[in-house]
C-alpha cells in the first residue's frame, strides 16, 4: 500500500499517531529532501531507507513507488513539511498511480494555508488557494487579474524574498484591500500580521509566508459606467474632482492614480 503522509510544518510534535505508526511499519520512505526527513524520523527513533521524490525527479520516483508497491512493500511518501501535493511534490505521483490503477491513500495532518486561515481571522467560509505565483512580473499580473473579481479570500504561498514585490503587484491589480501575512506557523516566532495592501508589509522578512487577501467587494452598479462617467456622476452630485476620484477608485478597487489619465480634462 502507498501512503501520502502529512508531516509537521514547524513543531515536530504536530504529527499524528497514525502517521508515526505508518512510518514505523513502512518498508521505504520517499521524501522531498532526505536530510530534512531524516531529522523528523530520528526525532522518533525511526530508521528507514530514504529515497528522493522531488520536482526534478518525480516521474522517475513515481515509477519506483509503483514498482515497490507491486512487490508488496509498504511505501510512505512525504514532503519536507505539510501535506504532499499541496504546493509540494506528489501530484505527478498521484496521477501516475491513478493511471496505473494502483490504490493509495492519504494520512491527514498539518497544512500551512489552513492554519493561516485560522490565524488571520479573515473570512474562511469561502476561500481560493492559489499557492505560489509565477516568477515573471507580466505572467504574475495576468494570473492575479484572473482572480481580481473573486469574492473569496485569496490565499498565497510566498517566499520571504518575494513578499515586497508580490504585494506591490497585488495592490496594482486588486487596489486597496485588507490583507494578512502569516509566518513561522507553529514555531516560537509565529506571527499573524494584518495590513492594507497600500501599506505593504514592514519588518524582517524571514520564514515562508502565507499571504491572505480579502476578496472583491460586491459589484457597485456604477462600475458599469466608463471611468469618466463614474467620476462625473459623483461630481454632478456636488463632490469636487479629488473626492470623486477617490470614491471611484474605492468603488472599482483600484489605486486613484490609475484613473487620472482618463479624467484629466474633467
pLDDT in tens, 28-87: 999 999 999 999 999 999 999 999 999 999 999 999 999 999 999 999 999 999 999 999
Structure confidence by residue, pLDDT tens digits, 138-186: 999 999 999 988 999 999 999 999 999 999 999 988 888 999 999 999 9
Q: What is the dihedral of CA 25, 22, 79, 84, to 10 degrees?
A: 140
Structure confidence by residue, pLDDT tens digits, 88-135: 999 999 999 999 999 999 999 999 999 999 999 999 999 999 999 999
DSSP 3-state assignment of 265? coil
User: pLDDT class for 219, splitting at 50, 70, 90?
Assistant: low
pLDDT value, residue 217 = 81
Are the CB atoms for 139 and 202 separated by under 8 Å? no
Indicate the CATH number of 2-107 among 3.20.20.70, 3.40.1010.10, 3.40.50.1970, 3.10.20.30: 3.40.1010.10
- pTM higher than 0.85 for the full model? no
DSSP string, 150-204: --SEEEEEE-GGGHHHHHHHHHHHH-S-EEEEEESTTSTT-EEEEEETTT---S-
Alpha helix stretches (DSSP H) within the chain? 17-25, 34-43, 58-70, 91-100, 112-120, 137-145, 163-174, 227-236, 241-252, 260-263
Ordered by start, the domain boundaries in the chain are 2-107, 112-213, 221-263
Q: Give mean pLDDT, residues 21-26.
A: 98
Query: How many C-beta atoms lie closer than 10 Å to residue 240's C-beta?
Result: 10
CATH architecture of 112-213: 2-Layer Sandwich (3.30)
129, β-bridge pairs: 155
Residue 250: is its pLDDT beyond 80? no
Amino acid at each position: 500500500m502507498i501512503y501520502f503522509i502529512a508531516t509537521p510544518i514547524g513543531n515536530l510534535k504536530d504529527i499524528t499517531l497514525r502517521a508515526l505508526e505508518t512510518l514505523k511499519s513502512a518498508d521505504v520512505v520517499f521524501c522531498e529532501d532526505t536530510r530534512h526527513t531524516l531529522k523528523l524520523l530520528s526525532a522518533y527513533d525511526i530508521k528507514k531507507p530514504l529515497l528522493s521524490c522531488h520536482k526534478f525527479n518525480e516521474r522517475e520516483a513515481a515509477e519506483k513507488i509503483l514498482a515497490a508497491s507491486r512487490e508488496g512493500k509498504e511505501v510512505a511518501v512525504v514532503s519536507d513539511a505539510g501535506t504532499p501535493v499541496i504546493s509540494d511534490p506528489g501530484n505527478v505521483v498521484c496521477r501516475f498511480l491513478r493511471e496505473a490503477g494502483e490504490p493509495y491513500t492519504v494520512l491527514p495532518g498539518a497544512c500551512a494555508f489552513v492554519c493561516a486561515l485560522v490565524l488571520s481571522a479573515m473570512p474562511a467560509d469561502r476561500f481560493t488557494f492559489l499557492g505560489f505565483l509565477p516568477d515573471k512580473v507580466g505572467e504574475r499580473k495576468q494570473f492575479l487579474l484572473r482572480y481580481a473579481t473573486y469574492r473569496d479570500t485569496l490565499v498565497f504561498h510566498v517566499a520571504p524574498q518575494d513578499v515586497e514585490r508580490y504585494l506591490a503587484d497585488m495592490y496594482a491589480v486588486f487596489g486597496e484591500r485588507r490583507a494578512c501575512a502569516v509566518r513561522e506557523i507553529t514555531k516560537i516566532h509565529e506571527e499573524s500580521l494584518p495590513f492594507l495592501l497600500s501599506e505593504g508589509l514592514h519588518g524582517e522578512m524571514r520564514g515562508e509566508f502565507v499571504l491572505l487577501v480579502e476578496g472583491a467587494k460586491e459589484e457597485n452598479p456604477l462600475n458599469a459606467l466608463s471611468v469618466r462617467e463614474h467620476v462625473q456622476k459623483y461630481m454632478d452630485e456636488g463632490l469636487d474632482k479629488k473626492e470623486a476620484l477617490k470614491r471611484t477608485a474605492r468603488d472599482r478597487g483600484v489605486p486613484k492614480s490609475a484613473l487620472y489619465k482618463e479624467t484629466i480634462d474633467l
